[in-house]
Structure 1
Amino acid sequence: MLFDDLLLITPIKKALKDEGYVEPTPIQEAAIPNILEGKDFLGCAQTGTGKTAAFAIPILQTLCGKQKVIKGPKHIKALILAPTRELAIQTGESFESYGKYMNLTSTVIFGGVSQKKQTDALKDGVDILIATTGRLLDLMQQKFINLHHVEMFVLDEADRMLDMGFLRDVKKVIAQLPKVRQTMLFSATMPKEISKLVDFILIDPVKVAVTPVSSTIDLIDQAVYFVDKKNKKQLLIHILKDKSIKSALVFSRTKHGANKITKDLNNEGIEAQAIHGNKSQNARQLALNNFKSGLTRVLVATDIAARGIDVEELSHVINFDLPNIPETYVHRIGRTGRAGLGGVALSFCDAEEKQYLKDIEKVISKSIPVIEDHPYPASDVEVIPNKVEVKKTFNSRSHSNGYARRNGRNQGGRQQSRNTGSKR
């Protein structure tokens, strides 16, 4: 199927052509027609599957069709709730890109910055509001926002909202929405609390699951290093000395750890910046922009700060600390392998993290190959048969051509798969 087959209006088709979109991703193919029909929608989809376009495109088309009959001052007609500032900003950019040939206005509000610019935009009137819950509730209390005219509501990354403790705030927002509305909820996982919320806010929804959390993207080469905790820093530096690693997103369990890793890398001449909750919004956005543009080769992040980061052609994800929640591992490595491209996910495992590794392998239903040939082997690791050679993991030619051969793909096929709507 092509985007041309989805009965989209000309302004949107023109914008999608500008973006290089040709074929919709599975979540887009399922969501767009159903949302255009006015149905509630439940999408179980991870970041990187193209879910932002899956709801942004039909929202823009639906609101555009109603412009002719609605007169008077602009009211907020569509509300999108995002868990983080970064994801809110990127969602706003998507709406601007897909709606650039339409006379619809949108704005993004989030905390951590002065509210004046945001309130000025709200006073002028907006059709579409993308918001984080804290700033939204704050501006609602100050009477800058009312949600009485909202017709379309999106709760994005609902499980992350739960993880970050925002579910109570989400319910406060929902209580202010009109009872009659169209609701869309997207979540990578479906814990009990989210399932209860689904039953509460969605009416007879269309349900679609894409890339379940128990599976990882096939194009990602995964490997693990057993290493003593004290030697993780040196192993990371050793790995990043390989110039074939064009970009790397390194995950730290803590904010302090992210700062320390960044400092150690910079001391070794490896360009790195950190992104976490203690950084100001401007500092976080600058670090993200530098990473996207290639000015910074390594971005060191905590899980919450990294949620919503969408960087094309990210070559490597490195788990400096293994997460204690297996699903988090899947979210992390899903940052690479986007848009049909290959990627590499490397993990460091010390003695205290062995159980985390077992839990991860159980969730993804596969053993992660072990790299034993490296300068900092752990002092207490048993011999494990599924080892791989270092060169097979880091040689860029091996990853691109070798992996393509193993999966029956060629470079032309891979290039074709990039022309899809999975950019956002």
Structure 2
Amino acid sequence: MTKVTDAELIILEKTALYAEHIDAGAKMVPFAGYEMPVQYPLGVKKEHLHTREAAGLFDVSHMGQIRLSGTDVAQYLETLVPVDVVDLPVGKQRYAFFTNEQGGILDDMMIANMGDHLFLVVNAACKDADITHLKCQLPADIAIDVLDDHSLLALQGPQAAQVLARFEPAVSEMHFMDVQTLDINGIACTVSRSGYTGEDGYEISVPSTQAAALAQHFIECEEVEWIGLGARDSLRLECGLCLYGHDLDTTTTPVEASLLWAISPKRREGGERAGGFPGADIILPQIAQKNVSRKRVGLVGLTKAPVREGASLLNAAGDIIGQVTSGTAGPTAGKPVSMGYVHTEYAAIDTQVFANVRGKPLPMVVTKMPFVPQRYYRGE
């Protein structure tokens, strides 16, 4: 018998909804240190399509939830991110990312202004490093509370609003990126109208002791099905959303990642609040000079074969010009879609490139993202 060493023995954490996933027939896999559902009996493709057509329930409790509070907390946090935190209105949230001194991205996240504190949701694989980063960079009088006793549910899809409104009608009045503290079926929750699918929907932070009961109420609604990590990945990719550790990393600047839209004008244009974040001396010249060697682009396959992460991208001469970082068959798009990085000279829309898939050069075309329309509710 082979002896298992301590280094080989990996103890995976379980979310508060683990038993519910097992009861629902989920296939569980290791993900970011947790046992997480990758799919349910419905299957990845049908889960994907169900979310686009009705409402899907996701357990995303592996994500990190952090509360920051204290005098001038927004000003201090703004020194770590190239976005406008100071002027973020109460009851609103904003996409952001930590940068390093080389201009690379340490993690991306959501920042919400709850009035008396800021509420951050960070990626599961990065949350320990993010917490350490905050503790090292913020003043000692800024309180950093990690909400380990809270779970996070995402209810996504065109019927998500009508489902959640049965439990709390006020959610119908929320717009994309609104955040409120609401009682959902008598449970105090932090609710944002946002998500990671490109669809209308909500993310709900709930005390873990009450997460299973709340999830059960949702699942009992005929519009709602459990959705796993597999469909979560294909849904976000079709809508052009990045996955940290794949499409973003510490060696990639926001300009290379085509995330210029996420850098607030006040932080990148002339003015007293321009710059002032790690890597600004690299990122701001890249913006001003429009000078980077590679860019993140959307890619559509011209064959039926999906092109997955890791495939090399080639020009017509067979030279390597980039790499695919995410890829899927595109259940809603109806064609293989990928994103990746290419040399800037190949980043123009409609440029043809080739993906090396098992030694065969498959033609692809650089395409504007998202591959399917985002359907966030903005009050129209």
**TM-score, length of structure 2 as denominator length:** 0.29
Structure ID, larger Rg: 1
Greater strand share, structure number: 2
Bigger relative CO (Cα 8 Å, ≥ 6 apart)? 1
